[in-house]
Amino acid sequence: MSSIATLLTIVSRVLNVSTMPVQLSLPPFCFSIDTANSLVSENLRRLYPVEAFTQAALVDYHLQLLPGVGIHRFYHQQARFLCDGREPFTPLPAAHGYAMLEWGMNWAIASQEFSHVIVHAGVLAFGDHAVMFPAPPGSGKSTLTLWLAFHGWRLLSDEMGLLVPNSLDVLPFVRPICLKNRSIELAKQWLPDAVYSTICHDTHKGDVIHVSPPELSWQHKTRPAQLRAIVFPKYQAGSALQITKLNQAQAFMELANNAFNMSLLGQLGFDSALLLVEQLPVYQIQYADLSEVTQFLHEVLDAI
Amino acid sequence: MQFDANWLQDCWDSRQFPQLTAEQWAWLIPRLRREQMLARLALRCQLLETPDLPDYARRHIQNACRLAHKQQMQVECEAELLQQLLADLPYCVFLKGAAYSLMSGALGQGRLYSDIDILVPQAQLTATEQALCLHGFIPDDIDPYDDRYYRRWSHEIPPLRHANRGTVLDVHHQIIPPISGRAPDLTRLLQNVRQTEQGFTVLSPEAMFLHSAIHLFCNEEIKHGWRDILDLCLMFEHPSQAPAPEKLLALATDTGFSLELALALRCVTELTKLALPEALNDWLDMQPTRPVLSWCFRQVLQPKLQQRWQVSLASFALTLRGHWLKMPLAILLKHTLYKLWRGGAAALIGDAALKAKKQQSN
């Protein structure tokens, strides 16, 4: 039987047709992923734990990563991303397929899920006390996320913080951490034993790699945490740690700038953000040394 | 229960939905989302009020309804801004999806669309584009060939996208590409406009129906066929706002779109439970039946719940027909050759090389 399955896989690879879709349960969502791009399948198997590949949950979004059409099937091979049969992006080179799939998952959630307030932020928790790090791309958010996730904190999310409206509760959406350009080298120096995807070179964001978070984060992938602070990080080479406490108005505006769906949620989104800035300490930090940041975060959590 | 197109159409017509299991919803919901029909169907059949609706279905339906609600708010806001910005123009008519939303009736309820379409005078096209550009509506970066193609042959300029809000605006000066040789005299169409309660200009019921029919039945690519045929159905659903048969027929004849009107009326009555006014039925009986063409359209205008070869065949045939109708053969050939050449060149020397070349020449 297994030889027949292998034969089928080989035939489908050669013909570049899709195999059976895999189901990936990433609480609180479940994706079905259909691809014949072997690089993508390999990276998926490498980065996500075995338990994530389960048929137990109902599929929320059907994702496909298909080969390019026409001549792009063979020359300058492309990858096309489809969600429920719709194609939101223009095709990318086939070698960028895995990054495209991860970005596509972000797109599917950010543009279609409105049960949570979604913030472009890393969220990490020490025990069940969470800190949210909202930041625009290029702030060093993911590098900070990576550092904390491998230093005793548990990762709830790297890209999208899922907040329960009108509360301080935050849900995990555990997925690999996305690193870019220079932070790739840095990560490999710090964490030679971590599990990495293959590098996608020369994407529109530069070189991109994904890193699987440690076991602790995956174990608690359904365990909510409570927000205790919001920190807007900004990496600045050579800088000593500078901490600025934001007032409520500043905090609200910064939060709104980093929210994916706050305006869509209307009153609910507004009220939820208001609750956060009224109840939580909010800081802006500039830093170069991540151990200084870690120490500061522990001080913030201890003070509450 | 057989979950096919007929079953779904019955649900739509009767406003009744059977009780489904979570697994059945998980099969149906992605398909409805693809048709851009989840919110519209949910609001019509009041699905959120259904007792014992599985959590899975409730969450996805709520998501869809929230998205539709936000779009409704946003289009009103954008339309108000546009109205102020383009106040000096002799006219600015909101078309299609945006118009349906602005009329705040059953037609707009849960109707999703990806851009706002407006019709402005051709003479003021440049001024309009400049005014919009100054207020943040910037054209996407497109191939210079495509840009020229739009401006020379099309009925609209390349889409404009608002730099902050992301709203996409399609500015039209005609309702169908002039290159097709069928662009009507707009003064005839512009006699058929009305104001919404909030003071936005939209087409009269007759012109709106005809325009939607032209758009659907002259198109080379039909993405959301079911949504679009239901637009036509809904326009007749409320007798007080329905197109008046005599006016509709006269407008179609005067503008030269009787064939499209006949196709639209035939498909809408065959696919939905809509009963047409007597006068339209009588007129339809006198029109040529065009069985092959009607068959093709019926395939692509049904909800696509299963993969069916009939749909693929019909879409392919309609794509060929659409291109054929839109362009004279010489231009169609030139266009196809260019697209092939660019595809081939991109494959051989890389897309980046072509783009670099383009930037150098600028």
3-state secondary structure string across A85-150: CECCCCCEEHHHHHHHHHHHHHHHHHHHCCCCEEEEEEEEEECCEEEEEECCCCCCHHHHHHHHHC
Position A6 in a domain: no
* Whether A266 and B73 lie within 8 Å, measured CB to CB: yes
Burial class (CB in 10 A: 0-12, 13-18, 19+), B46: exposed
- To test the contact with chain B by mutation, choose from A171, A264, A265 the residue with the greatest count of B C-beta atoms within 10 A, namely A264
Q: How many CA atoms are closer than 13 Å to the CA of B204, on its beta-carbon side?
A: 14
Look up tokens 């005609």; give the residue: B174
Do A29 and A21 form a contact (C-beta atoms < 8 A)?
no
Place of tokens 């790297």: A158
The contacts of residue A172 (CB under 8 Å, 6+ apart) are: A27, A123, A154, A155, A156, A157, A162, A217, A220, A221, A222, A223, A224, A225
Residue pLDDT, tens place only, B256-314: 999 999 999 999 999 999 999 999 999 999 999 899 999 999 999 999 998 889 999 99
| HSE-up of residue B210 (Cα within 13 Å, Cβ side) | 30
Domain with residue A159: its CATH number is 3.40.50
Nearest CB neighbour to A76, from listed B34, B66, B347: B347
HSE (CB half, 13 Å, CA atoms) of A165?
15
d(CA A251, CA B122): 47
- The string of pLDDT tens digits covering residues B45-88 is 999 999 899 999 999 999 999 999 999 999 999 999 999 999 99
Alpha-carbon dihedral angle through residues B339, B341, B345, B346, given to the nearest 10 degrees: 10
Does residue A95 sit in the same domain as residue A28?
yes
Residues facing B108 on adjacent strands: none
Q: Could you give the C-alpha distances from A216 to A126, B2, B93, B197, in angstroms and in order? A: 11, 46, 58, 58
Among A76, A96, A112, residue at a domain's last position: A112
Q: Looking at beta carbons, which residues of chain B come within 8 Å of A114?
A: 62-63, 66-67
- How far is it, in rounded angstroms, from Cα A183 to Cα A209? 9
Inter-chain touch A113–B63, beta carbons under 8 Å: yes
CA-based nearest distance A149→chain B, Å: 31
Residue A43 and residue A132 share a domain:
no
- Are B56 and A266 a contacting pair at CB < 8 A? no
* Band of residue B354 on the pLDDT scale cut at 50, 70, 90: very low
Interface test with A, best of B38, B48, B63, B140 (most A CBs within 10 A): B63
| DSSP-assigned letter for residue B239 | G
How close A113 comes to chain B (CA, Å)? 6
Q: Is residue A2 part of a domain?
A: no
pLDDT in tens, B78-108: 999 999 999 999 999 999 999 999 997 899 9
Question: Are A264 and B22 in contact (CB < 8 Å)?
Answer: no
Instruction: Establish how many alpha carbons lie within 13 A of residue B186's alpha carbon, considering only the half-sphere containing its beta carbon.
Output: 17
Query: Looking at the structure, do residues A243 and A108 belong to the same domain, yes or no?
Result: no
Domain with A291 in it? 117-176+213-303
In a domain, A10, yes or no: no
Other C-beta atoms closer than 10 Å to the C-beta of B352 total 11
pLDDT of B143: 84
pLDDT, tens only, A79-130? 999 999 999 999 999 999 999 999 999 999 999 999 999 999 999 999 999 9
Does B151 score more than 90 pLDDT?
no
H/E segment holding residue A75: none
- Predicted confidence at residue B230, as pLDDT, reads 97
User: What pLDDT does residue B74 have?
Assistant: 92
Cis bond before residue A137 (omega within 30° of 0): no
- Using CA of residue A265, residue B134, residue B193, residue B122, what is the dihedral sign? negative
* Tokens matching residue B153: 């042959």
As a whole number, mean pLDDT of residues B157-165 equals 92
Q: B30 to chain A, minimum CA–CA distance in Å?
A: 6
Tell me the C-alpha distance between A130 and A132, whole Å: 7
Same domain (yes/no): A125, A63: no
User: What pLDDT score was predicted for residue A263?
Assistant: 82
Same domain for A150 and A299: yes
Tokens 């259909």 found at: A34
Q: What is the pLDDT of residues A222-278, one digit of tens each?
A: 999 999 999 999 999 999 999 999 999 999 999 999 998 888 888 999 999 999 999
Rounded to an integer, what distance in angstroms lies between the CA atom of residue B248 and that of residue B204? Answer: 10
Cα–Cα dist A274/A256, whole Å: 10
Name the domain count of chain A: 2
At residue B346 the predicted structure's pLDDT band, cuts being 50, 70 and 90, is low
Split at pLDDT 50, 70, 90, the class of A13 is: very low
How many Cβ atoms from other residues are within 10 Å of residue B273's Cβ? 11
A238 and A125, same structural domain? yes
Question: Considering only CB atoms, which residues of chain B are within 8 Å of chain A?
Answer: 22-23, 25-26, 30-31, 33-34, 56, 59-60, 62-63, 66-67, 69-70, 73, 343-344, 346-348, 350-351
- What are A's interface residues with B at a Cβ cutoff of 8 A? 58-62, 70-72, 75-76, 84-86, 112-115, 263-266
Same domain? For A134 and A106 the reply is no
Residues A125, A102 share a domain = no
Residues for chain A: how many in total?
A: 304
| Distance from C-alpha of A40 to C-alpha of A301, rounded to nearest angstrom | 39
Query: What is the pLDDT of chain B when averaged over all its residues?
Result: 90
B32 → chain A, closest CA residue: A84
Report residue A4's pLDDT band, with 50, 70 and 90 as the boundaries. Answer: low
Q: CA A142 to CA B256: how far, in whole Å?
A: 60
Q: Do A84 and B348 touch (CB under 8 A)?
A: no
Contact A229, A285 (CB under 8 A): no
Average pLDDT rounded to a whole number, residues B325-345: 70
Cα separation, A83 vs A62, whole angstroms = 6
Q: Which is it for strands A129-134 and A225-235: parallel, antiparallel or unpaired?
A: parallel
**Residues in chain B, total:** 362
pLDDT bin (cut points 50, 70, 90) of residue B344 is: low
**Residue A186 located in a structural domain:** no
For chain B, the domains span 5-327
pLDDT of residue B342: 66
Residue A179, beta-bridge partner list: A209
Residue type (1 letter), B244: A
pLDDT tens-digit profile of A164-217?
Answer: 999 999 999 999 999 999 999 999 999 999 999 999 999 988 999 999 999 999
As a whole number, mean pLDDT of residues A27-54 equals 95
- ipTM confidence score: 0.88
| Among chain B residues, CA nearest to A56 | B23
Q: Are B351 and B202 in contact (CB under 8 A)?
A: no
- The per-residue pLDDT for A286 is 97
Does B144 sit behind a cis peptide bond, omega within 30 degrees of 0 on the bond before it? Answer: no
